Amino acid sequence: MSTIALGAHVEQTDPIAEAKARKAPHVQFFLGDPQGYQGPEIRYAGGAARLRADAEAAGVGLYVHAPYIVNVATTNNRIRIPSRKLLQQHMDAAASIGARGLIVHGGHVNKGDDPTVGFDNWRKAIEATDLKIPLLIENTAGGDNAMARYLDRIKGVFDAIAGAASGSEDVGFCLDTCHAHAGGIPLESVVDEVRAITGRIDLVHCNDSRDEFDSGADRHANVGAGKIEADLLASVVREAGAPVVFETPGGAEEHLADFEAVRSRL
């Protein structure tokens, strides 16, 4: 289990250098503004082709996180339609750099909306998107109307996607420990419960939480600095057996400490 690959979310200008600074086999980053609709931006010198070639030569795996504002579940056309466009743009850009996956939040419906409409909007989004690399849906921390906070909602999303005419085989799951804790899913059982629903866990976001269980607050902390026991975080990593990304505060020094805190417990 000590061979589980540990990486981190890093600044996007030179992700290869960031990986080397952490002695990490992979890194995750945004392509452009995580809060904007203007589309992806490759900030690496030489562009997408050079980043892909240099990452392959360095043996560094790349994961891309889609903008936070993507919400393909919503009933609001002015958000859902641009979100689908943005999702495709980031899918295309992530594929162009040879990324191993594109991570996207589950989104939400409006207050009073039937959640089954959100589930079906996910199905339609999968059918409408050319999935060139795996799309990994991430559980989220807050909101009663969220599509991926509670287990029953995650099941609704994946059941709907399973009915898509195409693309469902390219949809996976990213398990965030802070989000699960804050969202009210016990970490002691989350791996088995998620696998029972999705059939897979493709990536783990290993984050401590600054807030209490079921707080609904998405505030990450370094391992041992929050409300989740380090042994429990390591247990989730061990049981999931998937590549890990730490989205914790700080730079290389702090991330290396987080790596060791978990690795020493595996």
Rounded to the nearest 10 degrees, how much is the dihedral formed by the CA atoms of 160, 162, 167, 171? Answer: 90
pLDDT in tens, the chain (266 residues): 568 999 999 999 999 999 999 999 999 999 999 999 999 999 999 999 999 999 999 999 999 999 999 999 999 999 999 999 999 999 999 999 999 999 999 999 999 999 999 999 999 999 999 999 999 999 999 999 999 999 999 999 999 999 999 999 999 999 999 999 999 999 999 999 999 999 999 999 999 999 999 999 999 999 999 999 999 999 999 999 999 999 999 999 999 999 999 999 99
Distance CA 237, CA 231 (A): 10
Q: Where are the domains of the chain?
A: 6-263
- Segments of 130-223 assigned E as strands: 135-138, 171-176, 203-205, 208-209, 220-221
Q: How far is CA 159 from the centre of its chain?
A: 19
Tokens of 250: 């700080």
| H helix or E strand, kind and range, residue 9 | strand 6-9
Q: Give the per-residue pLDDT at 3.
A: 85
| H helix or E strand, kind and range, residue 88 | helix 77-96
Q: Which CATH number fits the domain 6-263, given the four candidates 3.40.50.720, 3.40.1080.10, 3.40.50.510, 3.20.20.150?
A: 3.20.20.150
Instruction: Name the 3-class secondary structure at 143.
Output: coil
What pTM was computed for the model? Answer: 0.97
| H helix or E strand, kind and range, residue 48 | helix 47-58
Confirm if 218 and 141 have CB atoms less than 8 A apart.
yes
